[in-house]
Amino acid sequence: MSRTIPRYTEGERRNHWIVAISFVLAALSGLALFHPSLFWLSNLFGGGPWSRILHPYIGIVMFLFFLVTMVRFWKHNRLEARDRQWLAQWRDAISQDEGRLPESGRYNGGQKIVFWLSVICMFVLLVTGILFWRAQFGELFPIWLIRLAALLHALAATIMIMTIIVHVYAAIWVKGSLRAMVRGDVTAAWAKKHHAAWYREMTR
Amino acid sequence: MSMQSSLDIQARSATTTPSPSVRKSAAVAKLIDESKCIGCKACQVACMEWNDLRDEVGTNVGVYDNPQDLSPNSWTLMRFAEVETAEHNLSWLIRKDGCMHCADPGCLKACPAPGAIVQYSNGIVDFKQENCIGCGNCITGCPFDIPRISKKDNKAYKCTLCSDRVSVGLEPACVKTCPTGAITFGDKEDMVHYAEKRVGELKERGYKAAGMYDPKGVGGTHVMYVLRHADTPEAYSGLPKDPQISTMVSAWKGVFKPLALLGMGLTAALGFFHYVKVGPNEVEEEKEEA
């Protein structure tokens, strides 16, 4: 057995997966209402009206649990000089030339970008979503604001979905990452390879 | 809400392939001659009767508008405005409000539910409530603030231009009942000619700014007005001067829709082909031992 290093507590994992599941549901129901060619996705939720009814509630669950995740990981995601260097060398990062990359702490530059994009998108999605949640707020807001909100909601959702595709792909590509969020720990070798600075900190 | 045959649908909401359209009917139009309107509200009553709708009895707030606004049960409404059209010249401008049946309908553009809004080849824009999901995007898309969502069933309602009557060769109920002939109905071409004649007459009578309201920003409408003060349509309880589908709505439902799907699809494809190219990023065994 190789040595392992704890990365996520049970609470952190549970929270992450609630956000993940509600994100998938919100994304699928949202896409159903976004593009005609994806309207069939509404069948997963019991039809068009049910998709329309459920989508905002799913979104609110997602946002609330995301808030917890955000607060927990905020301090680990401050962008540092080495992260900027990491990002400048993104070509090395995706071509298996990790040796040439600067050391990363608990998160690398790419992960931090995913974090901050998620934070921005989540807040935009919540605010704009409330602005055109007609079943709850009817005609409370001026029409120009509702129109702007609808456009921004779609924009933020698109960026969010693309970000999460990258996030999920990274977890599939970088072997040994998924267990951090499933079992809570990673191998020492994994930590050393991908997050050398964090590894030193954890094994001091 | 119509029983009109589905053989002549020109546009259908949230649908990317052509709708049944082998038949082609001539464009129709309702012309409302504001100069002949006496504000009797017979059109409101006829609309209620024909469509079998009863709005709640409201309260008198000191103006003639009754009910106060369009609703799921009131698809047309007389709006009364007291306006000083010239110095010391108070005018009582009465406008029959309701769906304008745009050639380029913002409601249909914004609707995410396939077939909840259709446009027949004669130009009538109709809501099919059985397909409506109750999101309210039609309100967001409409440049005239017409559709209303019912609190009872969460479906959107508006004037159908009596598509059921028109499909069997009858005029809309409001047209039939109008006692002064202020509302007329027929082929759009004929209605335009008639409107031009009326505008000429009004100009002779001294209404220099008389004109027809058939706004080009929404491709023209199948409900048109003859206005004595066509230079200031806003004076008629806020009839927009140059209505068009909001840039926000056309961006959201136009260029952004395919771009967003492309962006998401490309991101997923890039990921997949990246994996195919470089393979998994694994931690080497020897390091595992270290």
- CATH number of B165's domain: 3.30.70.20
Q: Rounded distance, CA B108 to CA B115, Å?
A: 9
Q: How many domains does chain A have?
A: 1
- What is residue A122's predicted lDDT score, i.e. its pLDDT? 98
Give a yes or no: residue A89 inside a domain.
Answer: no
- What is residue A1's predicted lDDT score, i.e. its pLDDT? 52
**Which residues in chain A touch residue B131, judged by CB atoms under 8 angstroms apart?**
48
Distance of CA A99 to the CA centre of its chain: 27
Q: Rounded distance, CA B66 to CA A78, Å?
A: 60
- What is residue B5's predicted lDDT score, i.e. its pLDDT? 56
pLDDT tens digits, A97-119 = 788 899 999 999 999 999 999 99
Domain of A171 in residue numbering reads as: 9-84+96-203
Q: Is the pLDDT of residue A26 over 50?
A: yes
Answer yes or no: do A173 and B280 touch at CB < 8 A: yes
Q: Which candidate from B267, B280, B283 shows the least CB-CB separation from A193?
A: B283
pLDDT tens digits, A37-63 = 999 999 999 999 999 999 999 999 999
Q: Are B103 and B219 in contact (CB under 8 A)?
A: yes
Nearest CA in chain B to A162: B264
pLDDT tens digits, B83-94 = 987 788 899 999
Chain B: nearest CA to A154, how far in angstroms? 7
Q: Rounded distance, CA A59 to CA A136, Å?
A: 14
- What is residue B23's predicted lDDT score, i.e. its pLDDT? 82
- CATH number of A42's domain: 1.20.950.20
**Which residues in chain A touch residue B111, judged by CB atoms under 8 angstroms apart?**
none
Q: Is the pLDDT of residue B2 over 50?
A: no
Closest CA to B124 of B75, B174, B176, B159: B159
- What is residue B1's predicted lDDT score, i.e. its pLDDT? 44
Average pLDDT of chain B to the nearest whole number: 93
Q: How many domains does chain B have?
A: 1
3-class DSSP string for A35-86 = CHHHHHHHHHHCCHHHHHHHHHHHHHHHHHHHHHHHHHHHHHHCCCHHHHHH
- What is residue B213's predicted lDDT score, i.e. its pLDDT? 98
Q: Rounded distance, CA B71 to CA B81, Å?
A: 20
Residue A76 falls in the annotated catalytic set: no
**Which residues in chain B touch residue A175, judged by CB atoms under 8 angstroms apart?**
280-283
pLDDT tens digits, A139-189 = 799 999 999 999 999 999 999 999 999 999 999 999 999 999 999 999 999
Q: Is the pLDDT of residue A82 over 60?
A: yes
Residue carrying structure tokens 């469509």: B51
Give a yes or no: residue B257 inside a domain.
Answer: no
pLDDT band at B290 (very low <50, low <70, confident <90, very high): very low
Give a yes or no: residue B81 inside a domain.
Answer: yes
Answer yes or no: do B275 and A173 touch at CB < 8 A: yes
Give a yes or no: residue B209 inside a domain.
Answer: yes
Q: Are B93 and B81 in contact (CB under 8 A)?
A: yes
Q: Which candidate from A47, A51, A94 shows the least CB-CB separation from B274?
A: A94
Q: Rounded distance, CA B264 to CA B269, Å?
A: 9
Give a yes or no: residue B288 inside a domain.
Answer: no
Domain of B218 in residue numbering reads as: 6-229+238-244
Give a yes or no: residue A4 inside a domain.
Answer: no
The number of beta carbons lying within 10 Å of the beta carbon of residue A28 is 17
Mutate to test the interface with A, among B131, B267, B277, B289 (most CBs of A within 10 A): B267
| Nearby residues of A46 by Cβ (< 8 Å), 6 or more positions away | none
Give a yes or no: residue A2 inside a domain.
Answer: no
pLDDT tens digits, B35-55 = 999 999 999 999 999 999 999
Give a yes or no: residue B106 inside a domain.
Answer: yes
Answer yes or no: do B133 and A96 touch at CB < 8 A: no
pLDDT tens digits, B240-271 = 999 999 999 999 999 999 999 999 999 999 99
3-class DSSP string for chain B = CCCCCHHHEEEECCCCCCCCCCCCCCCEEEEEEHHHCCCCCHHHHHHHHHHCCCCCCCCCCCCCCCCCCCECCECEEEEEEEEEEECCEEEEEEEEEECCCECCCHHHHHCCCCCCEEEECCCCEEECHHHCCCCCHHHHHCCCCCCEECCCCCCEECCCCCHHHHCCCCCCHHHHHCCCCCEEEEEHHHHHHHHHHHHHHHHHCCCCCCEEECCHHHCCECEEEEECCCCCHHHCCCCCCCCCCCHHHHHHHHHHHHHHHHHHHHHHHHHHHHHHHHCCECCCHHHHHC
Q: Is the pLDDT of residue B3 over 80?
A: no
pLDDT tens digits, B123-174 = 999 999 999 999 999 999 999 999 999 999 999 999 999 999 999 999 999 9
Closest CA to A181 of A189, A193, A192, A170: A170
- What is residue B116's predicted lDDT score, i.e. its pLDDT? 97
Give a yes or no: residue B264 inside a domain.
Answer: no
pLDDT tens digits, B176-204 = 999 999 999 999 999 999 999 999 999 99
